[in-house]
Every structure is written in structure tokens, then in C-alpha cells.
């Protein structure tokens, strides 16, 4: 984000005495009850922008936003404030940091759109209700609910005054994409929540998705719902490649995205996926090379290249990042160096993580099978400090075995960051000399883990 406006713009204003065409938006305002030790950032949903917002001691701020992106969020670590910007917008944003939902006010040029979007997000939540309950509904009832949601949201759009016609046209399509995305989500969500893995929706239910154009660049830039539909489309193609060509999913997804003809859409999907999943790729080098071959965005490429270089420091045989003096459930503190001389299988988890808890029975089985061998099973919780007692209770309740440790700074712990862990559970295998065997080891539920242990004569 540029803090200085282009000089030529000012010159043009003086010379022509007309409002110039600009490619930026301005935001400013006041955050009530702001404390100087609070960090506020400006982020974009795709992760390509994350910068500190400079807030004065009295809570006032001002910044310039690049309108190559339309969606931003001001985030203080608790509650995000979502903003939509277009060239020439000048938004005045005010809220109480202790009660964002009830205190947020937005005025200035572009306020009508932003206030509409705030009202729409609230209404979406109210209409859809509790996802755990809504996705359990039978197909016909769920379908009727979606029709009602679409009708109500369309009415809100039509009743809102002061919205530009061009925006209303895009937003009408956006409402339809929301409707279609909820169709696309239903089968998998219903399976999981009803614990019925064989559930399948009717052909009629999915028919409306058959005519979606997955190459609309304008809607891709504007609508997160459309973007999710496009991403899901290419995820499905990736699953077909996995099945037919027996390749890893991470590589398969990049291969499916590589077929997109629009460079901006291809760059965006490839970057967002690589930014999140490069650390999980079985062959990081092959994944990185495939990404670079298909991305023409130099800024994105620099970010992924930096991640790749850091991951190369985590290659097999490299010294493992360490942890020091993590609280041990059994008492005292434990460091990685205390475990030298044995293989160490590390499980990074948290009490709130469903997939982590699903691995617990499998981990117990693996521990039982290899407990007499030269290996330590170490579980590191990245729960926040406020959940320390919850962690202790779950360790006792689940009768967790092995070495149970509590990380020093949850996600910000040096060990977690150096391993570039941005999703859990994550499993790591370290050799008796403290060197990495596999920085992204198989999960306990994966038969490949037993094969790996056996191949190492553990």
C-alpha cells in the first residue's frame, strides 16, 4: 500500500481543475478504546496483502488502498472489519474495538455499498442459521430453505437505496453464486454431520450448477462465492487426476489450475493454494517448479519462492528446528535436546482441532506397537495459554500417552513457525541425531507411517 499519492495526479488536478481518474481508495477513521500495544493489520482474503495499519495513540488512522483488490479487512486479532473498495472511494470507518458489531459506522464515498454488505452478511447468517443444524436437513427441506434465502437477499438488495446500478447487477449475480455454493457444499457437509458417508444428493439437486461459467474474470474478482465455486470445480478435476494418474493431490490441483486460460484467475488460484499447501506437498521441489511454470505474477512468485527456500532448509538430513523448556504434562519442562539419541515422532495439535482428535486412537495404536523401540512420541499442543487447563483435562480424559507438551506461544512458537506450520494436525519425524527424517510425516491413520518406521528399523 502506498502512503504517498502520485505527484502527477496533483498536477493534473491543478491544471485541469477536474476530479482526476484514480486507481486507489482512501480510508480513515477512529478506533475507540484502542490500546497502543494492539496490532491492527490490513489484510486481503487471498493472503497477498497483510500489512500493519498505523494507528495513533488516540485511535485515529488513515491509509491508501490499492484497488486491484476490492476486499480488505481491518483485523485486531479478534474481530475483522470488512471493507469493499473501488477507485475513488473515501471511507470514514469508526468503531469501538471492544464492541465492533454494535458500534461500527461507515460514512463517506462508498459508504452505501459497505453498509449494504454489512447488512447482507448479517442477514445471510440469520437466514442460514446454525450450519450444523441446517446441513442436517433433508434435501427437499434444505432446497426450500435455499430458495427462501435467495429471495430474501434479493429483496434486501432491491430495497437498499443509493447503490449504483452496475454494482447491483454484480451483486445480484453474487447472491446467485452464494445460492449455488450452498448447493455445492451440501452433500459433503450432510455426510459428515449425519455420519452417513454413503449419502448422495439427487441429480435434480445439482442441475443448477451445470450451467456455471467458470471463466468469468469480473465475477472472479468481485465475488468470493464465485471464486469458491471455481476453486471447487478445479478441486474436483484434481481428484480425477489423482484417481486416474496416481499423483499427489497437491500436484494434481496445480495441474488442473494450469488449464485455466485467464492469467489472472490462474495466478490467483495457484498462489492461494501454493501459499497454504506447499508445506504439505510430498515432493516440495516438484510442486514449486510446477507452480513457477504456471504463474506469471512476480509478487506472488516472490512469496512462494521465499516459502520454498525456507522449506528446503527442512529437507531430509537437515538439522531440525528445536524447542526449549516446553511445559510437560507429567511435570517439569522438556526440550527437544532432552530426547536426543532416539527417533522423535512429533504431533502438533490442539484441543479445538477435530481432525487432530480423530487421529488420537490411531496414534495410541502406533505407540503401543512401537513403544519398546528407540522412538519417543511427542505431542505438542498449540492451544492458547488461556486453554492450558482445558489441555490438561483433555490429556487426562483421553488418557493420552507419550510425552505431552504445551508450546510456549501457540501458533507464534518458534518451533511452529520455523516448520511453517499453518494447519494441524502436523506430524514430523526427527532422527536420533536431531536431524529431519520427514518434516511432513504420514499421519498415524496412514499405513505409510508403519512402513516408514519399519524401513528405518525402528
d(C-alpha 364, C-alpha 400), whole Å: 8
343-349 β-sheet, strand order: 333-334, 326-328, 403-406, 375-381, 343-349, 426-430, 436-438
Instruction: Give the number of residues written for the chain.
Output: 458
Instruction: Give the contacts of 143 (CB within 8 A, at least 6 positions apart).
Output: 205
**Angle, CA 161 vertex, CA 63 and CA 92 arms, to 5°:** 15
71-75 β-sheet, strand order: 50-52, 41-43, 71-75, 80-84
Burial 221-236 (b: 16+ CB within 10 A, else e): bbbbbbbbbbbeebbe
d(C-alpha 417, C-alpha 413), whole Å: 6
d(C-alpha 301, C-alpha 119), whole Å: 37
DSSP, residue by residue, 373-406: SSEEEEEEE---GGGHHHHHHHHHHTT--SEEEE
Beta carbons of 236 and 244 less than 8 angstroms apart = no
d(C-alpha 155, C-alpha 116), whole Å: 12
Start-to-end C-alpha separation, the chain: 52
Per-residue pLDDT of the chain (458 residues), as tens digits, is 544 333 333 333 333 344 457 789 999 999 999 998 899 999 988 777 889 999 999 999 999 998 888 899 999 888 899 999 999 999 999 999 999 989 999 999 999 999 999 999 999 999 999 999 999 999 999 999 999 999 999 999 999 999 999 999 999 999 999 999 999 999 999 999 999 999 999 999 999 899 999 999 999 989 999 999 999 999 999 999 999 998 989 999 999 999 999 999 999 999 999 998 898 888 889 999 999 999 999 999 999 999 999 888 888 999 999 999 999 999 999 999 999 999 999 999 999 999 999 999 999 999 999 987 799 999 999 999 999 999 999 999 999 999 999 999 999 999 999 998 988 999 999 999 999 999 999 999 999 999 999 999 98
- Please count the other Cβ atoms lying within 10 Å of the Cβ belonging to residue 57: 8
The pLDDT assigned to 19 comes to: 47
**Angle, CA 110 vertex, CA 106 and CA 115 arms, to 5°:** 45
Domains, the chain, with CATH or none: 7-109 (2.60.40.1120), 126-312 (no CATH), 326-455 (3.40.30.10)
Give 365-368's long-range contacts (Cβ < 8 A, gap of 24+).
365/444, 366/444, 366/449, 366/450, 366/453, 367/401, 367/402
Beta carbons of 323 and 415 less than 8 angstroms apart = yes
**pTM metric for this prediction:** 0.75
Cell of 158: 432491491
Which residue in 396, 413, 397, 402 sits closest to 339, CA to CA? 402
The pLDDT assigned to 74 comes to: 94
Dmax (CA) for the chain in angstroms is 83
Which sign does the torsion angle of CA 44, 50, 51, 56 carry? Answer: positive
Phi, psi for 108 (deg, rounded to 5): 95, -175
The pLDDT assigned to 3 comes to: 40
Cell of 352: 479445538
Beta carbons of 42 and 108 less than 8 angstroms apart = no
Pairing of strands 105-109, 90-96: antiparallel
**Which H or E run contains 121?**
helix 111-128
Amino acid at each position: 500500500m502506498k502512503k504517498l499519492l502520485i505527484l502527477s495526479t496533483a498536477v493534473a488536478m491543478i491544471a485541469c481543475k477536474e476530479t482526476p481518474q484514480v486507481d486507489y481508495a482512501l480510508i480513515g477513521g477512529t478506533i475507540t478504546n484502542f490500546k497502543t500495544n494492539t496490532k491492527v493489520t490490513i489484510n486481503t482474503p487471498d493472503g497477498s496483502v497483510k500489512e500493519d495499519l498505523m494507528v495513533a495513540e488516540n485511535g485515529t488512522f488513515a491509509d491508501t488502498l490499492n484497488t486491484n483488490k476490492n476486499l480488505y479487512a481491518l483485523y485486531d486479532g479478534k474481530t475483522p472489519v470488512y471493507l469493499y473498495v473501488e477507485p475513488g472511494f473515501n471511507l470514514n470507518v469508526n468503531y469501538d474495538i471492544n464492541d465492533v458489531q454494535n458500534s461500527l459506522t461507515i460514512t463517506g464515498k462508498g459508504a452505501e455499498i459497505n453498509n449494504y454488505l454489512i447488512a447482507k452478511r448479517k442477514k445471510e447468517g440469520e437466514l442460514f442459521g446454525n450450519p450444523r443444524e441446517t446441513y442436517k436437513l433433508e434435501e427437499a427441506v434444505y432446497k426450500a430453505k435455499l430458495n427462501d434465502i435467495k429471495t430474501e437477499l434479493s429483496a434486501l438488495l432491491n430495497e437498499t437505496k443509493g447503490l449504483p446500478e452496475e454494482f447491483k447487477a454484480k451483486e445480484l449475480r453474487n447472491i446467485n453464486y452464494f445460492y449455488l455454493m450452498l448447493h455445492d457444499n451440501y452433500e459433503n457437509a450432510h455426510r459428515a454431520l449425519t455420519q452417513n458417508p454413503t449419502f448422495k444428493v439427487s441429480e435434480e439437486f445439482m442441475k443448477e450448477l451445470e450451467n456455471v461459467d467458470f471463466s468469468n474474470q469480473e465475477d472472479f474478482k468481485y465475488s468470493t462465492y464465485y471464486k469458491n465455486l471455481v476453486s471447487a470445480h478445479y478441486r474436483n478435476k484434481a481428484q480425477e487426476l489423482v484417481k486416474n494418474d496416481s499423483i499427489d493431490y497437491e500436484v494434481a490441483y496445480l495441474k488442473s489450475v494450469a488449464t485455466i486460460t485467464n492469467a489472472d484467475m490462474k495466478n490467483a488460484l495457484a498462489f492461494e493454494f501454493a501459499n497454504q499447501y506447499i508445506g504439505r506437498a510430498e515432493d516440495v521441489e516438484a510442486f514449486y517448479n510446477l507452480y513457477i511454470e504456471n504463474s506469471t505474477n512476480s509478487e506472488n512468485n516472490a512469496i512462494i519462492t521465499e516459502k520454498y527456500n525456507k522449506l528446503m532448509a527442512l529437507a531430509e538430513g537437515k538439522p531440525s528446528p528445536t524447542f526449549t523448556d516446553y511445559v510437560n504434562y507429567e511435570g517439569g519442562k522438556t526440550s527437544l535436546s532432552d530426547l536426543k539419541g532416539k527417533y522423535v515422532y512429533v504431533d502438533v495439535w490442539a484441543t479445538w482441532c477435530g481432525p487432530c482428535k480423530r487421529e488420537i486412537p490411531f496414534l495410541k495404536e502406533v505407540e503401543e506397537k512401537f513403544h519398546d523401540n528407540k522412538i519417543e512420541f511427542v505431542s505438542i499442543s498449540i492451544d492458547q495459554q488461556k486453554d492450558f487447563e482445558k489441555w490438561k483435562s483433555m490429556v487426562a480424559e483421553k488418557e493420552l500417552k507419550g510425552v505431552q507438551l504445551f508450546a510456549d506461544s501457540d501458533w507464534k512458537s518458534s518451533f511452529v513457525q520455523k516448520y511453517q506450520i499453518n494447519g494441524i494436525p502436523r506430524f514430523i519425524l526427527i532422527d536420533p541425531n536431531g536431524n529431519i527424517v520427514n518434516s511432513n510425516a504420514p499421519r498415524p491413520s496412514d499405513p505409510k507411517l508403519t512402513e516408514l518406521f519399519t524401513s528405518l528399523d525402528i
